[in-house]
């Protein structure tokens, strides 16, 4: 499978796209005001212990208190080892803290022999790590079991354990890596071999382990004198995280359109993966990087409720606080032979699109899919098996239940970060929150990209931008540095005009002669 990694880096927003067979498979977005917290290590204070939930709230300096479950604080290794007995089935490449799982989506495999109130008390200081971003109205999920990821290894300073990524399928290679880790691992530390460690020589893996141990020692030295709450260690930015976690041997090339970030990537690769340097390219064309791959169109499609299928059928995706519902409809598709065949074909086509949209939109939690009713049990089983197969490429853990007699399939998908809808949109003030609009920041960035497209074709040294008053205010205030950068990039002076009659998402770019 041809796979490419594209990075569109700007000061106001960085977007990372994973392209598989010329199709956008994943999109990761990070903005300076919304920097990823997963992997960051904090010094926090317990502010409330909840015996009834066997959990605690911890102040780590964020807007909402972080949530700490009992299995994320236990220091009994035998108990904790029981919890992670499925380590052979857990992939460590996606994010830190994967061993701990998710409270909402995974039942705890064991019942501890002690209570949360025996381990924690209000006012207690803790060193914790974020394993799940704050989502919607929920605070971050944290753990006391620190994990430090490198290119080839994950170091676990708080437990004595060895594991190998399940994505390494060759049994001889798995055995070799396990023996290697046991040989180099210091007492009291845990190591997990990541997918990228396959075929890597022992000395290189040991060098990386020594680097991670040194990093852990620095974190421990900071801990005693740091205030409460405070950030002790920050993970890499999204660009370098993408290189570390997504730039595997399956990726044919990495393309980035920012010269400073390109140089930064080359330095990182020189240190950790020099053999991949020849696969890194700087995008020098005038055409925006994402436009050349049709990504902007796919992103817009991923924000819509209705997604059309090639046959003429369609699916409707709606997300609420409790769950995401997906409805399958035949739409314009009338079939060729009979109703039964038409329904089955539409449902099968919908299955592939649903698996694709779940991954692209990063939809997590409970998902209920309403397929078109099918009378035959064999047809219902075929839909169920096809869906499970389609979800195999998804790195996020999924659990799918068999189709009910009502034609419903219930499934869960592990939450790791906000889905695209919540990231790119905000409640609509035109309809008092009943619908959604693009967020004002996203509108600004869409304008910036459109100016980059059109500026090279415009005559003169200046242009006028007509926008809604709220967008004008944002452009001239919070986004002023990005506007100045855009003027330097395009060589055009940009004047902003406020138009009361314009819709929030509407804008007009005019050439000044």
Alpha carbon of residue 153 to chain centroid: 20
- Asked if residue 17 belongs to a domain, the reply is yes
Spell out the residues 6+ positions from residue 347 whose beta carbon is closer than 8 angstroms to its own.
328, 371, 372, 374, 379, 383
- Asked if residue 148 belongs to a domain, the reply is yes
Give the model's confidence band at 73: pLDDT under 50 very low, under 70 low, under 90 confident, else very high.
confident
What is the pLDDT, as a whole number, of residue 444? 95
Domain that holds residue 330: 303-420
What is the pLDDT, as a whole number, of residue 319? 85
Based on the structure, what is the number of domains in the chain? 4
pTM: 0.76
The C-alpha atoms of residue 448 and residue 484 are separated, in whole angstroms, by: 11
Q: Is the pLDDT of residue 76 over 50?
A: no
* Average pLDDT of the residues in 360-369: 92
What is the pLDDT, as a whole number, of residue 104? 33
Digit-coded pLDDT (tens) for 458-485: 888 899 999 999 999 999 999 999 999 9
Same domain, 218 and 100: yes
Q: Is the pLDDT of residue 432 over 60?
A: yes
What is the pLDDT, as a whole number, of residue 441? 93
Same domain, 206 and 312: no
Tell me how far CA of residue 509 lies from CA of 11, 385, 455, 480, 494, in angstroms: 22, 50, 9, 17, 10
- Higher confidence at residue 56 or residue 303? 56
Q: Is the pLDDT of residue 85 over 60?
A: no
Q: Is the pLDDT of residue 398 over 60?
A: yes
Here the CATH number for the domain that contains residue 229 is: 2.40.50.140
* Strand order, beta sheet including 306-308: 306-308, 314-319, 324-329, 365-370, 408-413, 398-400
- Asked if residue 256 belongs to a domain, the reply is yes
CB 153 within 8 A of CB 192: yes
DSSP state of 123: T
* Domain boundary, last residue among 218, 236, 254: 236
- Asked if residue 379 belongs to a domain, the reply is yes
Q: Is the pLDDT of residue 178 over 70?
A: yes
According to DSSP, the β-strands at 314-319 and 365-370 are unpaired
Spell out the residues 6+ positions from residue 329 whose beta carbon is closer than 8 angstroms to its own.
313, 314, 315, 316, 346, 372
Give the model's confidence band at 99: pLDDT under 50 very low, under 70 low, under 90 confident, else very high.
very low
What is the pLDDT, as a whole number, of residue 471? 95
Same domain, 209 and 258: no
Same domain, 398 and 506: no
What is the pLDDT, as a whole number, of residue 408? 93
Q: Which secondary-structure segment (H or E) carries 145?
A: none
What is the pLDDT, as a whole number, of residue 84? 39
Percent of the chain residues past pLDDT 70, beyond the cut = 90
Same domain, 254 and 124: no
* Domain boundary, last residue among 217, 236, 255: 236
Least confident of 3-17, 47-61, 428-442: 428-442
Digit-coded pLDDT (tens) for 259-311: 999 999 999 988 888 888 899 999 998 889 998 888 888 888 888 889 999 88
Same domain, 461 and 383: no
Same domain, 70 and 158: yes
Same domain, 229 and 263: no
Same domain, 92 and 151: yes
Same domain, 64 and 160: yes
CB 155 within 8 A of CB 189: yes
Q: Is the pLDDT of residue 395 over 90?
A: no
DSSP state of 432: T
CB 165 within 8 A of CB 200: no
- Asked if residue 429 belongs to a domain, the reply is no
- Asked if residue 221 belongs to a domain, the reply is yes
Give the model's confidence band at 77: pLDDT under 50 very low, under 70 low, under 90 confident, else very high.
very low
What is the pLDDT, as a whole number, of residue 460? 84
* Domain boundary, last residue among 236, 263, 284: 236
Burial annotation 135-147 (CB, 10 A radius, 16+ → b, else e)? beeebbbbbbbbb
- Higher confidence at residue 327 or residue 79? 327
């Amino acid at each position: 499978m041809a796979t490419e990694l594209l990075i569109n880096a700007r000061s106001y927003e960085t977007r990372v796209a994973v392209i598989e067979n010329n199709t956008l498979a994943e999109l990761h977005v990070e903005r300076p005001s919304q920097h990823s917290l997963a992997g960051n290590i904090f010094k926090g204070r317990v502010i409330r212990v909840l015996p009834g939930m066997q959990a605690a709230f911890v102040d780590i300096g964020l807007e909402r208190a972080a949530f700490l479950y009992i299995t994320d604080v236990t220091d009994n290794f035998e108990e904790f080892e029981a919890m992670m007995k499925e380590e052979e089935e857990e992939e460590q490449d996606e994010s830190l803290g994967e061993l701990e799982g998710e409270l909402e989506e995974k039942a705890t495999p064991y019942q501890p022999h002690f209570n949360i109130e025996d381990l924690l008390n209000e006012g207690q200081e803790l060193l914790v790590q974020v394993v799940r971003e704050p989502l919607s109205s929920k605070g971050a999920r944290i753990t006391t079991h620190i994990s430090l990821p490198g290119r080839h290894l994950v170091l676990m300073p708080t437990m004595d354990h060895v594991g190998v990524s399940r994505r390494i399928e060759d049994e001889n290679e798995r055995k070799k890596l396990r023996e290697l880790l046991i040989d180099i691992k210091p007492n009291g530390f845990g190591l997990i071999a990541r997918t990228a460690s396959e075929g890597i020589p022992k000395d290189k893996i040991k060098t990386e382990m020594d680097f991670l141990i040194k990093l852990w020692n620095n974190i421990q030295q900071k801990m005693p004198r740091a205030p409460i709450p405070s950030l002790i260690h920050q993970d890499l930015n999204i660009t370098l995280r993408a290189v570390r976690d997504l730039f595997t041997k399956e990726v044919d090339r990495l393309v980035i359109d920012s010269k400073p970030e390109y140089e930064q990537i080359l330095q990182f690769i020189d240190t950790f993966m020099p053999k991949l340097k020849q696969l890194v390219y700087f995008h020098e064309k005038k055409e925006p990087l994402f436009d050349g791959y049709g990504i902007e169109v796919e992103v817009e499609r991923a924000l819509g409720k209705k997604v059309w299928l090639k046959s003429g059928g369609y699916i409707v995706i709606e997300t609420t606080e409790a769950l995401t519902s997906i409805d399958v409809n035949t739409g314009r598709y009338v079939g060729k032979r009979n109703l039964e065949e038409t329904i089955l074909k539409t449902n099968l086509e919908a299955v592939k699109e649903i698996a694709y949209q779940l991954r692209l939109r990063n939809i997590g939690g409970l998902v209920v899919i309403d397929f078109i009713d099918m009378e035959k049990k064999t047809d219902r089983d075929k839909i169920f098996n096809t869906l499970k197969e389609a979800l195999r490429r998804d790195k996020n853990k999924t659990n799918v239940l068999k189709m009910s007699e009502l034609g419903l399939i219930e499934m869960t998908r592990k939450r790791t970060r906000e889905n695209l809808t919540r990231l790119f949109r905000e409640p609509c003030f035109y309809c008092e929150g009943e619908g959604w609009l693009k967020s004002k920041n996203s509108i600004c960035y869409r304008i910036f990209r459109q100016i980059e497209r059109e500026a090279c074709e415009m005559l003169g040294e200046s242009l006028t931008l007509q926008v809604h008053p709220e967008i004008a205010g944002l452009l001239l205030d919070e986004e002023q540095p990005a506007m100045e950068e855009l003027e330097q990039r395009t060589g055009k002076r940009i004047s902003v005009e406020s138009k009361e009659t314009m819709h929030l998402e509407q804008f007009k770019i005019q050439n000044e002669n």
